[in-house]
Amino acid sequence: MRNGNQKSFLFIYCQLLIIPSVTLATACTLLSEDQALSLVESAIQQSEAEGVFVSLSSSESALSRFSENQISQNINQNRFKLTITSYFGKRSASASTTELDLEAIKETIRRSEELARIAPEDPEWVPLLEPQEYEQRLPAFDERTATLSPLRRGEIVQRVCALAAQAGVEGSGTLSTEAFLQVVGNSQGLRACDRGTEADFSFTARIEDGSGWSQRTAFALAQLPIESLTKQMIERALASRRPREVSPGIYPVVFDGAAFAELLGWVIWNMDARAADEGRSFMSCTDETGQTGSNRVGEQMFSPLVQVQRHPAHPLLQLGTCFGDGLSNHYLDVIKDGIPQTLSYSRYWAQQQDKRPTGSMFPIVMTGSGHSLADLIAQTERGILVNRAWYVRYVNPKTLEVTGMTRDGTFWIEEGQIAYPIKNLRFNQSLPDMLRDVDALSTVQRFGSSVVPGVRVRAFNFSSVTDSV
């Protein structure tokens, strides 16, 4: 981009932000942990209910959106929310405020109490959570990400758009940053506080009938491979032009990590203990009469290569130590050597089944290998490379059969090499069967709040050709 265009780009960017174009830095005005804990403590002390739970969240976020090689939108948001849940016996009700004003908080407490007194009794009531033990570590908080200036964000987007324009493709995507704080407490003495930062970049390159897309997430902006990912997606878009048609059928598939992350999430989020025990899940056990027995924890269901953990302390994540209800978010083996180790137990269902509540299966981490995605392709005699799984939806929730489409670069593999681009395909696939057929892994990368490898699957079912690009 020429110097005149560069000045014009940054001027327009700063005008969109309604800030002076000389802005070089910003200050993070996120509540401090002491301020947040003080607000929660004050709300608990003011409560007149038999029990009270208080949740506070505060965040500062910025999102820059670009399309057709130029910035199209910018959003900066400061959010604050305080939620009060009051309890009278088995009756409860919640009220929230987005104001820091002490009088507004007091009114929210009273409103919560008034509603709780007339609420029906909860048939799945559980007592307030006792104080918990949390991992002794600090979640990642990157000051440079929290205070990234609009000017610097504009320069990054400008560079991405310039690379796309130079290659003759249309580039679009988003660059976002966020600093956030969460505090919870209750009248039983529970107190927990987490804060962190996150940066996310997604990019789509399009030219004629070719496209490439990917996305990366990190706790620090400096960890995002923005330029290399942009160049990679441009190359993918150029290589995916003039695709050929391949007949639907069952093929070996190499999944890019971004595609596999979308599919693995569906499996882990469906590992709910109550659904399994009530016969509504792929994890349910049924006898010959069709009656639900127990669940399939401990059964060899997947490939021995499949190792999945809930691992918030993973080096690529370094997320918080607690969930929004106050339960500890600690390391947990979910699948080991292809064998499910546990299911997700809510506090109510854990109480019913005499188990310990686990909280959510979040975040997801799957162990990879030292191989690259190129290594997986080189080891594949014949198959399909899938770079994105798009518009995934249930076909049968109980068996976890889903449908979806490939998108943004799908290629035919022949004799260990990418031979040519192919038209996108719709798939109808049992995801437990997909994990059973995993036979090779690549190195891991972070996508959203998941860390997963690229994966090769021996057999994957494609049901039809689609016209999607």
Sign of the torsion formed by the C-alpha atoms of 460, 461, 465 and 466: negative
The four Cα atoms 161, 165, 168, 171 give a dihedral, to 10 degrees, of 20
What type of residue is 314?
A: H
Q: How far is CA 211 from CA 266, 377, 408, in A?
A: 25, 20, 5
pLDDT at site 467: 84
- 77 CB burial (10 A radius; 0-12, 13-18, 19+): exposed
pLDDT at site 276: 96
Domains of the chain plus CATH, in order, are: 3-230 (3.30.2290.10), 249-465 (no CATH)
Q: In whole angstroms, give the CA distance from residue 326 to residue 183.
A: 9
Q: What is the 3-state secondary structure (H, E, C) of the chain?
A: CCHHHHHHHHHHHHHHHCCCCCCCCCCCCCCCHHHHHHHHHHHHHHCCCCEEEEEEEEEEEEEEEEECCEEEEEEEEEEEEEEEEEEECCEEEEEEECCCCHHHHHHHHHHHHHHHHHCCCCCCCCCCCCCCCCCCCCCCCCHHHHCCCHHHHHHHHHHHHHHHHHHCCEEEEEEEEEEEEEEEEECCCCEEEEEEEEEEEEEEEEECCEEEEEEEEECCHHHCCHHHHHHHHHHHHHHCCCCECCCCEEEEEEECHHHHHHHHHHHHHCCEHHHHHCCCCCCEEECCCCCEEEECCCCCCCCCCCCEEECCCCCCCCCCCECCCCCECCCEEEEECCEECCCECCHHHHHHHCCCCCCCCCCEEECCCCCCHHHHHHCCCEEEEECCEEEEEEEECCCCEEEEEECCCEEEEECCEEEEEECCEEEEEEHHHHHHCEEEEEEEEEECCEEEEEEEEEEEEEEEECCCC
The pTM for the full model equals 0.92
pLDDT at site 287: 73
pLDDT at site 45: 98
Tokens found for residue 134: 């949390």
pLDDT at site 14: 40
Tokens found for residue 230: 């942009």
Block means of pLDDT (10 residues each) for the chain, 469 residues, are 40 38 57 96 98 98 97 93 98 97 96 98 97 96 96 95 98 98 98 97 98 98 98 98 97 98 98 96 84 87 98 98 97 98 97 96 97 98 97 97 98 98 98 98 98 98 91
Tokens found for residue 341: 């180790």
pLDDT at site 29: 79
Tokens found for residue 266: 């569906």
Which of 342, 378, 349 minimizes the C-alpha distance to 454? 378
- Kindly report the number of other CB atoms within 10 A of residue 117's CB atom: 13
pLDDT at site 306: 98
The number of CA neighbours under 13 Å toward the Cβ of 294 is 7
CA 381 to chain centre: 33
